[in-house]
Structure 1
Amino acid sequence: MRESLFKDHFWNTDLISTAGYDSITQHMNDGRKNCKEFEDFLKERAAVEEKYGKDLVNLSRKKPCGQTELNTLKRALDVFKIQVENIGQSHIQLAQMLREEAKKMEDFREKQKFHRKKIELIMDAIHKNRNLQYKRTLEAKRLYEQRCRDKDEAEQSVHRSANLVTQKQQEKLFVKLAQTKTALEDSDRVYQMNVSAVEKIREEWQSEHIKACEFFESQECERITYFRNALWLHVNQLSQECVKNDESYEEVRKSLEMCTVEKDIECFVNIRKTGTLPPIPVIYENYYNTQRNAAPGRNQAPTPGMGRRPQLPVPSSGPGDPEYSTVDGYSLIQHH
């Protein structure tokens, strides 16, 4: 059992003071405002998530990303784009969930406001009635005290003038005294009636004040619990979104594990290969020799050692060594 209760700590010795009640209702209004702020925060976050999700979906669908890649890396990129779109869709779904949570917070806030309004109307009415009756009682007390002074003054006048005035004047003083006593009795009765009335209203107000404190305290406990749970749910949703994102990224990582450099190279070679034979060497052709060889009746057989460069020797090379030969001090590296 909690020791600090609303009904025990929001009183005031001044009967017509509403300081305690006002303190509670101000706190309740602040709580309602805080719920509204969190509700607006969720709505704004939903807008951010929705825009981000839609941007990711559009990015995945419209922006090229390695579209000319081949084989396993292409499949990995395809998975990557699909998962980016999935992440975008997930953020769009999160935005919808946040809007639903914001609507729940709004409904909760309005429900509390509706029920609290009933109590506030009761308390406002009883405060007004209490204050009015208290003023009437104070006025009745003031009139009663004035009548007491009038009666005392009339009595003193009678005693002071007992042997100093005529019989007729004496009778007037007694009549006045009787009138003041009658007025005093009337005012005394009215005063007592007002005291009874204000006491009855005070007891009623005190009882309603306790009920209002208990109701407001119950609402505040409910609000804090609901607010706490709503915030907890919100961060859980964000955590779940991170889990979903990581699952999508994991799919990309799995597809990248299947990406093989050797297979992609082999795939490229098989698809785009153009031939296995390199160009033949370009040889020197002496113009005059060509002309003589082309002259009519001239022997077409080449003369040894003239008009033609001898064939270059091809040295042997070990496995893995570049194929090359040396002629007149120059190296010729042949790439196959």
Structure 2
Amino acid sequence: MTGSLFKGNFWSTDIPSTIGHKTILQHLNHGRQNCEEVEDFLKERASIEEKYGKDLLSLSRKKPCGQSEINTLKRALDVFKQQVDSVAQCHIQLAQTLREEARKMEEFREKQKLQRKKTEIIMEAVHKQRNLQFKKTMDAKKIYEQKCRDKDEAEQAVHRSANAVTTKQQEKLFVKLATSKTAVEDSDKVYLQHVNALDKIREEWQSEHVKACEVFEIQECERINFLRNALWLHLNQLSQQCVVSDEMYEQVRKSLEVCSIEKDIEYFVNQRKTGQIPPAPILYENFYCPNRNAAAPGKATGTNLARRGPLPVPKNLPDDPDYSLVSDYSLLYQ
């Protein structure tokens, strides 16, 4: 069954044509280029993953994130930074894995290139030999056909000059005819030899072409399978990265679940409390009060804190001897 096989679909009715072989090679070259593009894509993705991982690692280790937090929330934040650090390490590891996959793809591509080169060298030699023999055969055919035309002309000349020329001229025509017949026979033998040689070379070329088609088809199957599996593996690696990252973030979620508002408040109070007795009220002190310990106006604090009353009015008359009147007194010194 050759319905969809290379060896049954890349021929040409023109013997020296190489269109089928060139078509296959062009497709294989495109396949090699596609492998290079995927390889470069993986390398670029690896660079992105590595840069992201390093930036994330730098963020986790250098950037403070709730460094003054306390108790359960502090532990949750510590777990958060630890897991971010782990996620960063995973991205860096993923970058290394992607570079390894790109290296494997490069090795596979080079291996196919060497295998294909061996077949191409054989086919180039066969094509050269076939085309050279085809040219020789076509040249021999032209010579043979020309000799045949020369013989026909000689025969016609003999028939035309049967009664119009001398005996000597007729002899010349007969000699020419005989010579042309001999030339036809010789050229016919050479032409036939070249045809037989070409047929043998054609069979060898067809056999090598079938082998080359089989080799190239196997390579194409391997390339498609390798590239498909490489992409499948790449997606699995990305999915695994997501799973691992989610597992690490789940650790943070678990630490947040045990974070207790009440415990953190209680912890803060127990560790930082400054006292349980509020300050006493500031009392009012009257400057004129003897004990200067009176309460503020309007607030009674005890029997000894009564507000001072008005000054006493003297009962004695102004001319009482107990009172001294000072006259002609001046505050200015004379």
- How does the TM-score come out when normalised to structure 2? 0.86
1:306 counterpart residue number: 307
For 1:230, give the aligned amino acid: A
For 1:51, give the aligned amino acid: K
For 1:131, give the aligned amino acid: N
**Within-5 A mapping of 1:169-208:** 169-208=169-208
Distance 1:101 1:282, change over 3 A: same
SS of corresponding position for 2:288? helix
SS of corresponding position for 1:276? coil
1:223 counterpart residue number: 223
Distance 1:290 1:236, change over 3 A: farther
Q: CA RMSD in A?
A: 1.9
1:54 counterpart residue number: 54
Q: CA deviation at 1:3?
A: 4.0
For 2:29, give the aligned amino acid: N
CA distances 1:67-126 after superposition (whole Å, capped 9, x unpaired): 000111111101100000000000000000000000000000110111011111111111
1:320 counterpart residue number: none
Q: CA deviation at 1:290?
A: 5.4
Q: Structure 2: how far apart are the matches of 1:178 and 1:307?
A: 173
Q: Structure 2: how far apart are the matches of 1:191 and 1:37?
A: 52
SS of corresponding position for 1:165? coil
1:64 counterpart residue number: 64
List gaps (5 residues or longer) in structure 1.
295-300, 309-336
281-290 or 105-114, which deviates more: 281-290
1:211 counterpart residue number: 211
CA distances 1:254-297 after superposition (whole Å, capped 9, x unpaired): 11112111111111112211111111101222223358889xxx
2:318 counterpart residue number: none
Q: Structure 2: how far apart are the matches of 1:307 and 1:286?
A: 9
Q: Structure 2: how far apart are the matches of 1:233 and 1:241?
A: 12
1:233 counterpart residue number: 233
Segments of 4+ in structure 1 off by > 3 A?
Answer: 290-294, 301-305
1:247 counterpart residue number: 247
CA distances 1:159-210 after superposition (whole Å, capped 9, x unpaired): 2112221222122112211221121111111111111111111111111111
For 2:170, give the aligned amino acid: Q
Q: CA deviation at 1:305?
A: 4.5
Could you tell me whether the CA contact under 8 Å between 2:285 and 2:293 is conserved in 1? no
Q: CA deviation at 1:304?
A: 6.9
Q: Structure 1: how far apart are the matches of 2:61 and 2:292?
A: 70
Q: CA deviation at 1:30?
A: 0.7
1:297 counterpart residue number: none
Distance 1:3 1:144, change over 3 A: closer
Which is greater in Rg?
Answer: 2
Q: Structure 1: how far apart are the matches of 2:265 and 2:69?
A: 11
**Within-5 A mapping of 1:265-284:** 265-284=265-284
Distance 1:58 1:2, change over 3 A: farther
Q: Structure 1: how far apart are the matches of 2:58 and 2:303?
A: 74
Q: CA deviation at 1:302?
A: 6.6
Q: CA deviation at 1:234?
A: 0.4
Distance 1:304 1:65, change over 3 A: closer
Q: Structure 2: how far apart are the matches of 1:307 and 1:275?
A: 37
2:38 counterpart residue number: 38
For 2:307, give the aligned amino acid: M
List gaps (5 residues or longer) in structure 2.
295-301, 310-334
For 1:166, give the aligned amino acid: T
277-286 or 144-153, which deviates more: 277-286
2:124 counterpart residue number: 124
Could you tell me whether the CA contact under 8 Å between 2:285 and 2:292 is conserved in 1? no
2:143 counterpart residue number: 143
Question: Identity, % of aligned pairs?
Answer: 69
Q: CA deviation at 1:50?
A: 0.4
1:82 counterpart residue number: 82
Q: Structure 2: how far apart are the matches of 1:102 and 1:255?
A: 39
SS of corresponding position for 1:44? helix
Q: Structure 1: how far apart are the matches of 2:227 and 2:304?
A: 107
Q: Structure 1: how far apart are the matches of 2:232 and 2:253?
A: 31
Distance 1:291 1:279, change over 3 A: closer
SS of corresponding position for 1:116? helix
